[in-house]
Amino acid sequence: MITYDNLPLTIHDIMEARTRLNGRIYKTGQPRSNYLSERCKGEIFLKFENMQRTGSFKIRGAFNKLSSLTEEEKRQGVVACSAGNHAQGVSLSCAMLGINGKVVMPSCAPKSKVAATTDYSAEVILHGNSFNETIAKASEIMEMEGRLFIPPFDDEKVIAGQGTIGLEILEDLYDVDNVIVPIGGGGLIAGVALAIKSINPRINIIGVQSENVHGMASSYYAGQITNHRNSGTLADGCDVARPGILTYEIVKDLVTDIVLVTEEEIRSSMVHLIQRNKIITEGAGALASAALLSGKLDHYIQGKKTVSIISGGNIDLSRVSQITGLETTH
């Protein structure tokens, strides 16, 4: 086992996170997709984080962060800001741990995600139409009420929680060659990369972002943190223009490659997952499969074993009908 002492956290932090999460979350399935395997000329396995509690991987990092707080910090209460999946992860974690939580969500957040977040336990405050406006409101609540802020991705405990996915992947498929990971702010890919590379550095960790929003990809290739956002994306859970400082440090050292996919490739991937694999996923959850279906990863995956992470499945049913109504595959 390799310990990367130059990085913000180590494999030991991820193993501690696994202990905290034991019995609190699901170990999600990782079946082989016959359709994608035949289509991509390699063995493709799907990691079903869309079947995780709250419908997304985000609860792993949220629960690990919240459960590591001191009793005094828990009594202070917490606040988070999110368009959906992190909000739900924080809200359910607060319910499980008996912590008073508030979540600031943008006014345009999907109604289903707002309702789910409220149902889990946290008080939801709708504010602003952009991430900057939403986080400004969360900062105001922190200052006025003395609550602790729970970051969505740029935090050691959050990254470690997401990294437990990497441990599960290797438990089920020790000889995997490639792991394909969606990227927003980078918490998921940073944690997965650190977990897997610490155990087997020969495995390729490949990130995927939308052509419309790819702050991490721009930073990765520029060699320094930069912003990138042309417009919104179907992968709204990964609509992050600027990656985290901690996540970038890990990604730049441990990730093999980052590829970009078009909005049409994301939409087509969502349709294929529904029709061929019977999986309903949100846009961010379809990013890894979009990269596989696009042919942009053929030189990595053909004749190899690859895990594609489906990061979340929280999508409004009206959005599903809009997407599937535009295309029929044969």
Q: Which of 33, 91, 121, 311 is catalytic?
A: 311
- CA 236 – CA 246 distance, rounded (Å): 22
DSSP 78: E
- CA 171 – CA 45 distance, rounded (Å): 13
Tokens representing 221 are 């290739």
Let me know if 58 is a catalytic residue: yes
With H, G, I as helix, E, B as strand and everything else as coil, classify residue 35.
helix
Quick one: how far is CA 307 from the chain centroid? 15
In this structure, are residues 207 and 214 in contact, taking their beta carbons and an 8 Å threshold?
no
Cβ-based neighbour number of residue 103 at 10 Å: 32
In degrees, rounded to 5, the angle at the alpha carbon of residue 108 between the alpha carbons of residues 102 and 109 is 50
DSSP 160: H
Q: Look at the alpha carbons of 187, 200, 35, 293 in this order and tell me if their dihedral is positive or negative.
A: positive
Beta bridge pairs of residue 224: none
DSSP 186: S
For helices 85-97 and 111-120, give the axis angle rounded to 10 degrees: 10
- CA 149 – CA 201 distance, rounded (Å): 34
Cβ-based neighbour number of residue 268 at 10 Å: 21
Beta bridge pairs of residue 201: none
With H, G, I as helix, E, B as strand and everything else as coil, classify residue 21.
helix
In this structure, are residues 19 and 278 in contact, taking their beta carbons and an 8 Å threshold?
no
Q: Which of 47, 56, 58, 93 is catalytic?
A: 58
Let me know if 311 is a catalytic residue: yes
- CA 172 – CA 174 distance, rounded (Å): 6
Q: Just list the catalytic residues.
A: 58, 311
